[in-house]
A and B are shown apart, each in its own frame.
Chain A
Amino acid sequence: MGSPSNQIAVLKHRRFSRWMHWINFPVLTIMIWSGLRIYWADVRDPFGFGVGLVGWHWFDFFPDSINDRLGLRARLAKGMAWHFTFGWLFTINGILYALFTWRSREWRHLLPDRHSFRDAISVTKHDLMFWARKSNPMPPQGRYNGAQRLSYSFILFLGGIEVLTGFAIYKPTQANFLTTLFGGYEWARGIHFSITIIFLVFFVVHIVQVFFAGWRNFLSMITGYELVDIDPTLGDEISQTDDDAEGSDDTTDEELTHV
């Protein structure tokens, strides 16, 4: 850690990003919670594996204990009421986010570039093989690394698909072009539910990554700015924070050539 004079705060998340991120969190939570009330109105776990296929159930997406604790049983009417009201907030928030990201040119930080796929593999190796970080260095990155660019962009794309499949099953006659686009009512419903599961998986990975990225990174989603240490030998150039900074300190140029 540098002394106070060696630290500077750099804008990481603009106001619209922060607002829409934090609005999205409770709204999406309500959507999933109310969506599960709808899901559970059908016969037992319609998309659990084994139903109808082998005649018995060997996998539940949501065990009974979870359903009971969250009050998801026999709440279909309320589930629909919440879902079809808050769906608009989710949709409008997502559209506004896309517009702002486009207008502010923030997409340049966010969308994958042609290196991102390979970068993502390197980043994943770096993150998972924590005992061999020196031989799996992080590739060069801007605000987000390749894995982040890919996963954030993908989850935003899925958010759009979630809205569209939602309308496809909400208004399968009035919006029948959407229903047809997704392969019909049952397919649209299956996609809608599958994306919900991906959202939940994303949420878990996201929380773990935010935990490991550290407090300063977390704060930047609240204040907008991330505090970074300035390496005095590099003038105004900014080095990475926290463990990445330590990592880059002892990663010599020579090691980088061995990638």
Chain B
Amino acid sequence: MSDSQANTSPDRDAERAARYAALEAEAPRLSKEEYQSRSRRSFLFGGAAAAAGAFGFRWIQTRPESNRIPDVLRAGHETNEALWRTLKRDGTNAPTFARSASSFPRVNGRRGLSEEIDLDAWELRVEGPDGELLGTHVLDDIRALPFHEMTIEHKCVEGWSHIVTWGGARFSDFADLYLDDLGGELPRFVSAMTPDEEYFVGLDIESMMHEQMFLAYELQGEALTQDHGAPLRLASPNKYGIKLLKRIGTIRFTNEQPTDFWFERGYDWYSDL
């Protein structure tokens, strides 16, 4: 308390006031007349700037839409994509967690899953850039690839996240099976869709070849249930869930940027995390 007394003593206060005043004395000054003409200019300019801002806001809102959002905001998404693709460092992985931290997530999307399918009759079609059939697979073909498990944070565009354990094959191991058929070089994009083609996603090949992009057939150590995408789905911590197709029916390698269900409904095509 004595310290506080000392600091608020009149001498200290006067000394501080003088110091503050000295700092303030550096500030430029104007006569009242100069100030008044300056104020008029500032007001005119400020009013014009405010009007320009309001006009700009309206302008954005009334731009033609590009896949359900104003084209300038779509350009914003595309600029961000170009920027983050440039900044992207190879080998950057999303954090992983202890398996015990994971649990079953909610079921959040049922598009393309409207009816239960016969898992034994299921087949995965693989198509090349011209839509030609390159091969078909049963689940045992995928099981024959090296098995991996990852406990990661599954993230939704809606904002929630959930720590889950996925088991399955790396997409990169699967894609390697088709390297020769595709002329030794993978096309730039992958398109995946449900058997009924109601839900479809498009992804860039770099994201697909990331070691944390799985063709998953297990969730929490158990076979996928139908509402989580049985028998085979995409799983990754590096894309929002809207990109992680459940119940894959067809995988197509392509050089044209494939369309995407939620991209057509206003979302960012890249949706990379």
A→B interface (CB under 8 Å): 4-5, 7-12, 22, 26, 30, 38-39, 41-43, 46, 76-78, 80-82, 84-85, 108-109, 115, 118, 139-143, 171-174, 176, 179-180, 184-186, 189, 219, 222-225, 227, 237-238, 253, 256-257, 259
Contact = CB atoms under 8 A, between A and B. Distances in A.
Contacts of B34: 9
Interface string B2-39: 00100110100110110011011001111110110011
Contacts, number: 155
A108 B76 contact: no
A76 B262 CA distance: 11
Given A9-B34, A12-B27, A139-B13, A176 B94 contact: yes
Nearest to B46: A222
A176 B32 contact: no
6 contacts: A10-B27, A10-B29, A38-B159, A81-B70, A172-B95, A253-B10
Contacts of A42: 158-160
A84 B7 contact: no
B68 interface: yes
B23 A109 contact: yes
Given A42-B158, A77-B266, A81-B74, A174 B29 contact: no
B172 interface: no
A172 B94 contact: yes
Nearest to B210: A173
Using C-beta atoms within 8 Å of the partner chain, give the interface range for chain B: 35 or more
Given A76-B158, A172-B155, 16 more contacts: A9-B32, A9-B34, A10-B28, A12-B27, A41-B159, A77-B68, A80-B267, A85-B77, A118-B4, A142-B21, A143-B20, A176-B93, A185-B153, A219-B39, A256-B13, A259-B13
Nearest to A223: B42
Contacts of A26: 53, 57
A192 B153 CA distance: 18
B94 to A, nearest CB: 4
B24 A237 contact: no
Interface string B52-78: 010001000000000011101110110
Q: Which 8 A-B pairs have the closest CB atoms?
A: A77-B266, A85-B76, A142-B20, A9-B35, A140-B17, A81-B73, A42-B159, A9-B30
Interface string B243-273: 0000000000000000000100111100011
Nearest to B271: A80
A11 B20 contact: no
Given A85-B73, A222-B43, A225-B35, A10 B159 contact: no
B35 A76 contact: no
B87 interface: yes
Contacts of A171: 84, 272-273
B100 interface: no
B93 A173 contact: yes
B92 interface: yes
A241 to B, nearest CB: 13
B161 interface: yes
B38 A225 contact: yes
Interface of B: 4, 7-8, 10, 13-14, 16-17, 20-21, 23-24, 27-32, 34-35, 38-39, 42-43, 46, 49, 53, 57, 68-70, 72-74, 76-77, 80, 84, 87-89, 92-95, 153, 155, 157-161, 237-238, 262, 265-268, 272-273
Nearest to A2: B32
A81 B158 contact: no
A184 B97 CA distance: 11
A117 to B, nearest CB: 11
A43 B160 contact: yes
A41 B153 CA distance: 19
A9 B178 CA distance: 76
Of A80, A84, A118, A227, most B-chain CB atoms within 10 Å: A80
Contact of A10 (B24, B158, B160): B24
A186 B161 contact: yes
Contact of A11 (B28, B39, B84): B28
B57 A227 contact: no
A84 B16 contact: no
B268 A84 contact: yes
A219 B42 CA distance: 9
A140 B13 contact: yes
Contacts of B238: 173
A141 B87 contact: no
A184 B80 CA distance: 23
A227 B34 CA distance: 11
A211 B233 CA distance: 58
B176 to A, nearest CB: 23
Nearest to B238: A173
B237 to A, nearest CB: 7
A185 B161 contact: yes
